[in-house]
Amino acid sequence: MSLFLIILLAIGLCFDSFAVSISSGLSCSKISAWKPIRFAIILAFMQGIMPLIGWLITGEFSVYIKSWDHWIAFILLLFLGGKMIYGALKEGKEEERNEECNTFSLTKAVLMGIATSIDALIAGVALALVTIDIVEGSQTQNVLFAIGIIFLVTFLASIVGLMIGKGIGKRLNLGTKSEIIGGIILILIGAKVLYEHLGEDNAIPAQLKTEQSDTRAKVICFNIRLAHSGDGEYYWDNRREAIVRMIETENPEFLGIQEGLSQQVSYLDSTLCNYSYIGVGRDDGADMGEYCAIYFDTTKVIKHQSENFWLCPTPDSPALGWDAACVRIATWGEFSLKSEPEKRFFVINTHFDHVGVEARAKSGEMIIAFVDSIASGAPMILMGDFNAKIDDNSLSPILEKLNDSRPKDSDQTPYTFTGFGELSEWASVIDHIFTRGMKTQNYRVIMDNYSSPCSQLSDHLPVAVEFYDVL
């Protein structure tokens, strides 16, 4: 979102503050210099702090806020306007009105600031859903800069509105009628806010809606190859910077890795901005052994819950499963996109055994048992290194419930495991992304090594797909 659009947003948000300022200037013919400035600062502060709050709480709370924001604004403005009219009718005398005019009291200023800035709170929710590109720096720095612009524009608009209102009041010599007119204006502003929101979804400015529409999200499945000293030139330390470049360039909402050891998971966690992760080491349920971690972009994704289970007869604790050579685990989370917080879905990441045929078959059955129990009927993404081609029997239970995101007529490379380029009988598509309850597009096997000193990022190739229209 450019500086120009942020300025347009600030202008759009300040109109109610501008109108309220005219009303307030009109209602008092005698105004000291500092009270109007304090009044304008309060209006501007509320107009600036509300987007910050909206940006910070973006998620499922925003749905409830958006449902009630217009009623809050209407009730506050109705109360303030009615009180202004009642006070004018009761006082009657111009001299008393000039001496006792309290339109610029701290309490009234704060209430007016809240009433006129509710939409700014929802706009803050929208700011979290778009990329702001005003200054060089983090997204947080850009958001704070945008909020500063909103504050400045609202302050200037409020000062101008107060001057206009004061000028009209003096020129027309309205007496107590000016306070009555000011109260009516406040009530009309409240009615306008209520009218605009009832039955319409326009709490977020149109220029922001355009950038949110047609939501697409990307998921990448990637076996990063454990940090093994025997890998020589392909050791993790030689590949990790290029892997980070790939992730930052692709910018996925979700990244599921396999074979990551604690040091690798920690490196990615500390290097990738805006990402958090779920997952544990498979050997002890803490930090020992390989992870099937799921990284997610916290600026675009809400995590609701997460857990792990082991692919063995005792799914709640680590153990070898059947004829498996290694302990195997699945990590799952329930998420939603911040652009559609009401649409929840599950993401599962796993790694089937490379030796045990029975273990792979049982693992497929366990995954589906999970799908049928905890995630019954919910939209879902299942990804991982399954150590099995798509026609393997171990994947049959999965394909009965979920869809393969790789098109049958795909022109992508016919393998995802390469053994660092030394193709063998294992060179085939064994890394898969399955989905349910959503549409997918742009399936890709990422071939670029992103200027790595190694020929490939790993002995597996990353697999990416976009999803949308979550049910």
Q: What is the pLDDT of residues 314-344, one digit of tens each?
A: 999 999 999 999 999 999 999 999 888 889 9
Please, which pLDDT band fits residue 212 given cuts at 50, 70 and 90? very low
173 pLDDT above the threshold of 70: no
Identify the pLDDT of residue 197. 64
The residue to which tokens 């998971």 are assigned:
265
Name which residue leads in pLDDT, 460 or 3: 460
> Which range among 3-17, 20-34, 110-124, 229-243 shows the weakest confidence by mean pLDDT?
20-34
Of all residues in the chain, what percent carry a pLDDT higher than 90? 48
Helices (H) and strands (E) in the chain, counts: 12, 12
Residue 226 buriedness (CB in 10 A; 0-12 / 13-18 / 19+) = middle
Q: What is the mean pLDDT of residues 95-122?
A: 68
97 pLDDT above the threshold of 60: no
DSSP code at position 377: T
Q: How far is CA 397 from the centre of its chain?
A: 33
Cα angle at 129 between 127 and 131, to 5 degrees? 75
Identify the pLDDT of residue 193. 67
Token pair, residue 374, equals 């905890």
CB 46 within 8 A of CB 155: no
272 pLDDT above the threshold of 50: yes
CB 337 within 8 A of CB 299: no
Identify the pLDDT of residue 419. 87
Identify the pLDDT of residue 104. 66
Identify the pLDDT of residue 375. 79
Q: What is the mean pLDDT of the chain?
A: 83
State the Cα torsion 172-176-178-179 to the nearest 10°: 160
| For the chain, domain boundaries | 3-211, 214-468
- Which long-range contacts (C-beta less than 8 Å, at least 24 apart) are formed by 360-363? 360/386, 360/387, 360/388, 360/392, 360/394, 361/393, 361/394, 362/311, 362/321, 362/322, 363/311, 363/321, 363/328, 363/394
Please, which pLDDT band fits residue 196 given cuts at 50, 70 and 90? low
pLDDT in tens, 442-455: 999 999 999 999 98
Name which residue leads in pLDDT, 411 or 386: 386
In CATH, which superfamily holds the domain spanning 214-468? Endonuclease/exonuclease/phosphatase (3.60.10.10)
Q: What is the mean pLDDT of residues 115-133?
A: 70
pLDDT in tens, 222-267: 999 999 999 999 999 999 999 999 999 999 999 999 999 999 999 9
Q: What is the mean pLDDT of residues 33-50?
A: 85
Name which residue leads in pLDDT, 121 or 442: 442
Name which residue leads in pLDDT, 254 or 206: 254
100 pLDDT above the threshold of 50: no
Reading across the β-sheet that carries 403-404, which strands appear in turn? 301-310, 329-337, 340-351, 380-385, 431-436, 403-404
Report the alpha-carbon distance of residue 205 to residue 184 in Å, rounded: 26
In terms of average pLDDT, the best of 166-175, 420-429, 451-460 is 451-460
Residue 422 buriedness (CB in 10 A; 0-12 / 13-18 / 19+) = exposed
Report the alpha-carbon distance of residue 241 to residue 87 in Å, rounded: 69
Of all residues in the chain, what percent carry a pLDDT higher than 70? 78
The answer to whether the Cα torsion of 454, 456, 459, 463 is positive or negative is positive
What residue type is assigned to position 121 of the chain?
L
Q: Is 279 left (phi over 0), alpha (psi -120 to 50) or beta?
A: left
Token pair, residue 318, equals 């680590």
DSSP code at position 286: S
Identify the pLDDT of residue 175. 53
